[in-house]
Amino acid sequence: DDLRISDPARTREIMAQYHLRPKKSLGQNFLTNGRVLQDIVDAAELTKQDAVIEIGPGIGALTEYLAQAAGHVTAFELDQRLLPVLADTLHDYTNIDIVHQDILAATPAQLSALAPELNIVANLPYYVTTPILMHFLESGLPIRRMVMMMQKEVADRITAAPGGKEYGSLSIAVQIRTKARIAMTVSHTAFNPPPKVDSAVVVFDFLTEPLVPAADQAYFNQVVTASFAQRRKTIMNNLLNWYGKTPAHRAILTAAFSQAGVAPTARAETVSIAEFIVLSKKLSEQK
């Protein structure tokens, strides 16, 4: 077939041929806009030397673009019904492996065996955006860049700076490990079937070293989670609830706040990552 898989007419034809009813429960919204697909691949800045992991190839729309830009593509698809479809639509490409597996079950050992440096590109299944994102952020894998389509609302939380209601533990979990930016927003008309929400493509460039060393991340994460437990409360009240409320606990917290330069009356959403790092360090030293 001369048309790209993502061509709206070809996508309709493939869906009809295989009697394919997209599963909402698996977040199946197939991209049918070549401009958007090209922009995603361009944002990944791939060369023929690069190996790419794709999450959820669907009927192969993005996979086809990736196979043309990269040296090799490994695509993880959970829905068994799509395997014969992909074998057919991607038949002409020799540099694609389709793996029938839940991406959340893929181990770091399995993924790191694919290439010394990984690129991850996906039009994510939206029902599982945050778990997939955390899976890769916490994997310790040698990832160069991730380019991911997701709900605009999640993209806004990921890239948020302190001071607004979007800023929270997700923004911090991402930004201690990557430099993240929204490359573009995407209309629901770019998909078949169209999702109910607006979408955005986020580019994540991994920092050479995370801002919080791996060994300290679990404790740091506890401090951040506790700080945001009740967003309308002050960070001091939230941390007293978690850390302890005795005068001794209060004294340690007060000292840590002053060393971090954070006002006890502040709310967590105004506290910068640099301030959280000092706060967490001071508290962990007192454990």
Task: Say whether 123 counts as a known binding-site residue.
Answer: yes
Q: CB nearer to ligand SAM: give 97 or 102.
A: 102
Binding of residue 243 to ligand SAM (CB under 6 A): no
Query: Among the candidate windows 45-53, 55-63, 175-183, 218-226, which touches ligand SAM by CB under 6 A?
Result: 55-63
Helix H, strand E, coil C: the string for 132-151 is HHHHHHCCCCCEEEEEEEEE
Binding of residue 168 to ligand SAM (CB under 6 A): no
Binding of residue 162 to ligand SAM (CB under 6 A): no
Q: How far apart are CA 170 and CA 188, in angstroms?
A: 24
* Number of residues near ligand SAM (by CB under 6 A): 23
Q: Which of 23, 21, 207 is nearest to 128 (CA)?
A: 23
CB of 253 to ligand SAM, least distance (A): 40
Task: Say whether 56 counts as a known binding-site residue.
Answer: yes
Binding of residue 61 to ligand SAM (CB under 6 A): yes
Query: Among the candidate windows 70-78, 219-227, 233-241, 269-277, which touches ligand SAM by CB under 6 A?
Result: 70-78
Binding of residue 98 to ligand SAM (CB under 6 A): no
Residue 220's φ and ψ, nearest 5 degrees, are -55, -45
Say how many Å lie between the first and final Cα of the chain, rounded: 65
The dihedral formed by the CA atoms of 200, 58, 88 and 105, expressed in degrees to the nearest 10: 120
Q: How far apart are CA 212 and CA 112, in angstroms?
A: 22
Return the structure tokens found at 233.
Answer: 């409360």
| Cβ 133 vs Cβ 194: under 8 Å | no
240: left (phi over 0), alpha (psi -120 to 50) or beta: alpha
Task: Say whether 31 counts as a known binding-site residue.
Answer: yes
CB of 132 to ligand SAM, least distance (A): 7
Query: Among the candidate windows 42-50, 71-79, 150-158, 172-180, which touches ligand SAM by CB under 6 A?
Result: 71-79
Binding of residue 129 to ligand SAM (CB under 6 A): no
Task: Say whether 192 counts as a known binding-site residue.
Answer: no
Positive or negative torsion for Cα 225, 228, 229, 233: positive
Binding of residue 103 to ligand SAM (CB under 6 A): yes
Binder among 83, 87, 104, 161 for ligand SAM (CB under 6 A):
104
Residues of this chain, 12-51, that bind ligand SAM according to CB under 6 A:
26-31
Binding of residue 57 to ligand SAM (CB under 6 A): yes
Half-sphere exposure of 101 toward its Cβ, with a 13 Å CA cutoff? 15
**Residues forming the annotated binding site?**
29, 31, 56, 77, 102, 123
The residues that touch ligand SAM, with contacts defined as CB under 6 A, are: 26-31, 55-58, 61-62, 76-79, 82, 102-104, 123, 125, 128
